[in-house]
Amino acid sequence: MATHIRVILIDPVEKTITEHTIPDNLQAYYKLIGCELVESVRPTSLKKGNSLYVDEERTFKDDLHYFDMEGWGTLVGKAIVLRHNADGESVSTTETVGSITRLVTFE
């Protein structure tokens, strides 16, 4: 298992898509997304093995911010793109800022 992984952050508040290298643990995911519980979703537009981690409690928050992801639809709040290997471990995404930018539309 890698100690750090490369992820792509989708931030609908700032309307930015940025690359980050973070520790490979849930606490780092929570901190970057700004939440206490994550949910994994798999838009069909992402490369094989890649998925989005989003705030599972995102719809219960005040001041909601949205983005649309091709292959999924509308999502609420920040999300990170990462990948899982054949063993189900989190590893660096094979997506790029450019590839995600082409798939995302901010509200």
Distance CA 35, CA 51 (A): 17
- Domain carrying residue 68: 4-106
User: Is the pLDDT score of 98 beyond 60?
Assistant: yes
Count of domains for the chain: 1
Section 5-27 average pLDDT: 97
Question: How does pLDDT run across 27-69, given as a tens digit for each residue?
Answer: 999 999 999 999 999 999 999 999 999 988 766 767 789 999 9
pLDDT computed for residue 1 by the predictor: 54
Q: For 58, which DSSP code?
A: G
Question: How does pLDDT run across 67-95, given as a tens digit for each residue?
Answer: 999 999 999 999 999 999 999 899 999 99
